[in-house]
């Protein structure tokens, strides 16, 4: 049985492929909405944030033979917790990582952190659109909110906890765009024009995260783009294709079976 970290659309596809290939999975996600989509696909789901100790206990109690981590490229804490737990429990850890893309072009600035992104945006002033989610919203509100010559627009998932967080941080209701993607270039184009955006901040989430559509729309309108680079984590058994993940899972589990002489 495999413990599978999910939560994104491509993770759901990978989990379904592994299941169809005969692998028994328990998927883990943080939100109830993500769990609904996985259950629709006929997969078992555990909902909630897990510490490294939680992961380790789960692996040991339920006898998982491997951990497949297909969480979001910016779900750094979850990945590190799962990686640590797998090592301590003595089971293989396999990482599915979306392919990175090169965004080096005029009007695009790559930064190492959310804090640096906020500082760059502060220098630029104008209408700043955040497409970075709610988790790090406070980093931006502390630096940008209620500053002269700056208006901050936040685009995020339409979840109750996100709206509550915006309220707690004093984020104006008129500057919240609660909507779920993915979005086309044309949609982004219209949105930028509607709000008069001058700077857009996003994350290096990969093609599946529709980053290209955001950047291309911004480029056409002459909007500055700030991209936050992915966390630098040394993963074990890292792959960017479903086929390679399946091959690695099969090889590792077969090797374990041969070593132990069966289940």
Backbone angles phi, psi at 213, to 5 degrees: -65, -35
Backbone angles phi, psi at 27, to 5 degrees: -90, 150
Which whole number is the average pLDDT over 142-158?
A: 95
Residue 154 pLDDT: 96
Q: What is the CA radius of gyration of the chain?
A: 20
**3-state secondary structure at position 89:** helix
Model pLDDT for residues 204-240, shown as the tens digit of each residue: 877 666 788 899 999 999 999 999 998 888 887 899 8
Residue 222 pLDDT: 94
Which whole number is the average pLDDT over 64-69?
A: 95
The answer to whether the 2-99+233-260 and 108-228 domains have the same CATH topology is yes
Provide the 8-state DSSP code for 219: H
**3-state secondary structure at position 131:** coil
Closest CA to 94 of 74, 72, 79: 79
Q: Calculate the average pLDDT of the chain.
A: 90
Domain map of the chain by residue range? 2-99+233-260, 108-228
Name the CATH superfamily housing domain 108-228.
NAD(P)-binding Rossmann-like Domain (3.40.50.720)
Which whole number is the average pLDDT over 8-35?
A: 91
Residue 104 pLDDT: 61
This prediction's pTM: 0.81
The gap from C-alpha 188 to its chain's centroid, in whole angstroms, comes to: 20
Instruction: Locate 104 and state its tokens.
Output: 């080096």
Per CATH, domain 2-99+233-260 is 3.40.50.720? yes
Task: Give how far Cα 18 sits from Cα of 13, 23, 68, 193, Å.
Answer: 9, 6, 10, 42
Separation between Cα atoms, residue 82 and residue 3, nearest integer Å: 9
Sign of CA dihedral 102, 106, 108, 111: positive
pLDDT grade for 263, boundaries at 50, 70 and 90: very low
Provide the 8-state DSSP code for 173: G
Closest CA to 95 of 230, 256, 255, 241: 241
Which whole number is the average pLDDT over 76-81?
A: 93
Which whole number is the average pLDDT over 171-188?
A: 93
């Amino acid at each position: 049985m495999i413990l599978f970290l999910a939560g994104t659309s491509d993770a759901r596809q990978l989990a379904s492929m592994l299941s169809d290939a005969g692998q028994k999975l328990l998927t883990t996600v943080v939100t109830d909405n993500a769990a609904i989509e996985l259950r629709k696909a006929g997969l078992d789901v555990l909902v909630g944030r897990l510490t490294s100790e939680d992961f380790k206990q789960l692996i040991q109690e339920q006898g998982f033979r491997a951990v497949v981590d297909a969480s979001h490229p910016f779900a750094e804490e979850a990945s590190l917790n799962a990686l640590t737990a797998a090592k301590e429990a003595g089971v293989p850890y396999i990482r599915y990582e979306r392919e990175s893309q090169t965004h080096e072009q005029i009007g695009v600035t790559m930064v190492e952190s959310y804090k640096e992104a906020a500082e760059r945006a502060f220098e630029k002033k104008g209408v700043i659109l955040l497409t970075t989610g709610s988790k790090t919203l406070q980093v931006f509100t502390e630096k940008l909110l209620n500053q002269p010559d700056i208006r901050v627009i936040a685009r995020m998932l339409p979840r109750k906890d996100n709206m509550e967080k915006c309220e707690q941080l004093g984020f104006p209701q008129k500057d919240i765009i609660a909507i779920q993607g993915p979005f086309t270039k044309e949609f982004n184009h219209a949105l930028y024009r509607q709000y008069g955006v001058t700077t857009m901040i996003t994350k290096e989430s990969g093609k599946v995260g529709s980053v290209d559509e955001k950047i291309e729309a911004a480029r056409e309108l002459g909007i500055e783009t700030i991209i936050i680079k992915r966390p630098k984590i040394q993963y074990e058994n890292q792959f960017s294709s479903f086929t390679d993940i399946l091959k690695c899972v099969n090889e590792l589990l077969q090797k374990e079976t041969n070593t132990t002489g069966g289940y």
